[in-house]
Structure 1
Amino acid sequence: MSHWLKQITVILTLSLTIAACTRVGLAYRNLDVIIPWTLSDYLDMNRQQKDWLNERLKEHLRWHCTTQLPGYLDWLNRLQTMIETNQITDSELQARTQEAKQAIAETAREITPSAIELLQGLDDKQVAEMNDAFAKDLRKRQEEYLKPPLEQQIKERSKRMEKRLNAWLGPLSPTQQQRVMAWSNALGDQNKEWIANRVHWQQQFSAAVAQRQSPQFPRQIETLLVDRESLWTPAYREAYANTEAQARALLVDLMAESTPFQRQRLLQKIEDMRKDFTDLKCLKAAQRG
């Protein structure tokens, strides 16, 4: 479940936003999960639970396609206009990020009742397996993101970001590469606060599931899934605000240094995404309706 939350966590950069939208497109094509919902990564569901979840996912998918995707297309139009008019500014990026947050929250709200019902039906063995999977996931992330020296963490973060940006802009210039490294340096030991906050959330989630028959359980899960920011540690809240600000500054500078080829490549990627969405049968049906 924490992996699911990570996937729908607020988009910090245009590249991550676009990547998230692409995942939604893949979810529709594969009828895999909706945003994506990967509880199965942490839970061994029985056949009855799997069948029930598949039916719920189909219902959520229809809702999402008919009510949410039209707004995604409008969002892509605003993003395209920003690029075409060279208005990649801090204020515009803040506006697009806030719109993305609202869309994510609306979808989270929609699927929360299904998550509550599924979690209430777990037996003790499944809950123990879920907690074991949480612990395994945490150890893996600590090994990857915290164990290396800080200097290596910064270099690896820069590499990951450059790889994402290359996919949407093409090869970065030396100046752009230096800017990405400066961005990663500015985040410092952000990995530490991110992992600590992840532990904090998992502990609260596990405690809630342990009392899943409690009358307070639905509200607790709604808070954990929809209002998760209210549960952040103070240190992570501060680190996250810095992360958002640094990401916006990075994108403003990268686009200011971008070449006509890079901007055209980015616009083509957006156009390809728009086509993926508009080609979906459920969206066409909604538009006809």
Structure 2
Amino acid sequence: MTRWLQHFAVLIAMSVVLCACSRIGLAYRNLDVLIPWALSDYLDMNSEQKGWFNERLKEHLSWHCRTQLPDYLDWLDRLRLMVETNQVTDAELQARTQEAKQAIAQTAREITPSAIELLKGLDDKQVAEMNDAFAKDLRKHQEEYLKPPLAQQIKERGERMEKRLNDWLGPLNATQQQRVVSWSHALGDQNQQWIANRAHWQKQFSEAVAQRQSPEFPQRIETLLVNRESLWTPAYRQAYANTEAQARGLLVDLMAESTPTQRQRLLKKIDGVRKDFSDLKCLKTTKQS
């Protein structure tokens, strides 16, 4: 999925990745600022398109707040209970992940008609700019994640993960640090499959947009946005399954080795995310009505 479409769908849905939670409240409050900025990376919308987009965005946010946010609060409560009762197990993590994926898919389905309408209205110059931006995006990812030797990729991946975990748990002990290292090694050359699949998706998306006036266009875009897993390369499908399993294993082991101080910090973080949601004006209005 392109970055601007990810902003459009994912920033108004619950992220599967725990470390994204701390940004949700901020992103939700400032989505009207973030999304046009993200779109500008790929498209130069004219004033008419921007006006239309802003109106649709308001409608989608209103729908999302009314129908989705209450479920997110329940999801966070289930997550908190897992930590509080020391039940961070593989089965529980699979359940929470599946619930989050369903929430993202539901939001993607809701916004897909707007995405289709916007894309159908692009002119050839805008499409060419989008394709150029795709190519630039791919080169950037290849430079950052594929150019370094595999050993360096593994090292940097572990460092990124430890930094995120430090934010949620506080400093890791030696056993936890070593577990992060082993997790990163277990993913191997996952970067290769991830970026190859990214290129595969972008190519299909560009081909679909090139035929944006065809009768099949809405269905093709819906598949690309809502059912994108059906278009994954076989290699990436296998790599993704391994990535999810390794992530669950990492979290289970880290929590098994966690200290009371770390668990309290995590609970406080989850409570903070829940408060961000609960304090949203749109959710309070919905409750009152």
Alignment of 1:53-68 (within 5 A): 53-68=53-68
Cα offsets for 1:202-238 (capped at 9, x unmatched): 0000000000000100000000000000000000000
Provide TM-score, normalisation by structure 2: 0.94
**Preserved contact between residue 170 and residue 265 of structure 1 (Cα < 8 Å):** yes
Alignment of 1:53-92 (within 5 A): 53-92=53-92
Instruction: Give the number of aligned pairs.
Output: 286
Task: Return closer, same or farther for 1:33/1:150 CA change in 2, 3 Å cut-off.
Answer: same
Task: Return closer, same or farther for 1:86/1:76 CA change in 2, 3 Å cut-off.
Answer: same
Matches of 1:165 and 1:260, distance apart in 2: 15
Residue 17 of structure 2: SS of its match in structure 1?
Answer: helix
Displacement of 1:20? 3.0
Cα offsets for 1:231-288 (capped at 9, x unmatched): 0000000000000000000000000000101100000011111111111111011112
Provide TM-score, normalisation by structure 1: 0.94
Tell me the amino acid that sits aligned with residue 175 of structure 2. Answer: T
RMSD: 2.1
Matches of 1:33 and 1:65, distance apart in 2: 18
Residue 139 of structure 1: SS of its match in structure 2?
Answer: helix
**Preserved contact between residue 197 and residue 232 of structure 2 (Cα < 8 Å):** yes
Matches of 1:36 and 1:181, distance apart in 2: 38
What is the aligned partner in structure 2 of residue 187 from structure 1?
A: 187
Residue 213 of structure 2: SS of its match in structure 1?
Answer: coil
Task: Return closer, same or farther for 1:24/1:244 CA change in 2, 3 Å cut-off.
Answer: same
1:40 aligns with 2:29: no
Alignment of 1:119-198 (within 5 A): 119-198=119-198
Matches of 1:104 and 1:43, distance apart in 2: 24
Displacement of 1:7? 6.1
Matches of 2:91 and 2:152, distance apart in 1: 32
Tell me the amino acid that sits aligned with residue 181 of structure 1. Answer: V
Identity of aligned residues (%): 78
Displacement of 1:17? 2.7
Residue 215 of structure 2: SS of its match in structure 1?
Answer: coil
Matches of 1:158 and 1:208, distance apart in 2: 37
Matches of 1:215 and 1:153, distance apart in 2: 43
Task: Return closer, same or farther for 1:16/1:89 CA change in 2, 3 Å cut-off.
Answer: same
Cα offsets for 1:113-145 (capped at 9, x unmatched): 110000000000000000000000000000000
**Preserved contact between residue 15 and residue 104 of structure 2 (Cα < 8 Å):** no
Matches of 1:95 and 1:32, distance apart in 2: 32
What is the aligned partner in structure 2 of residue 25 from structure 1?
A: 25
Displacement of 1:2? 1.1
Gaps of 5+ in 2: none
**Preserved contact between residue 108 and residue 225 of structure 1 (Cα < 8 Å):** yes
Cα offsets for 1:128-183 (capped at 9, x unmatched): 00000000000000000000000000001001111111111111111111100100
Tell me the amino acid that sits aligned with residue 195 of structure 2. Answer: I
Task: Return closer, same or farther for 1:147/1:6 CA change in 2, 3 Å cut-off.
Answer: farther
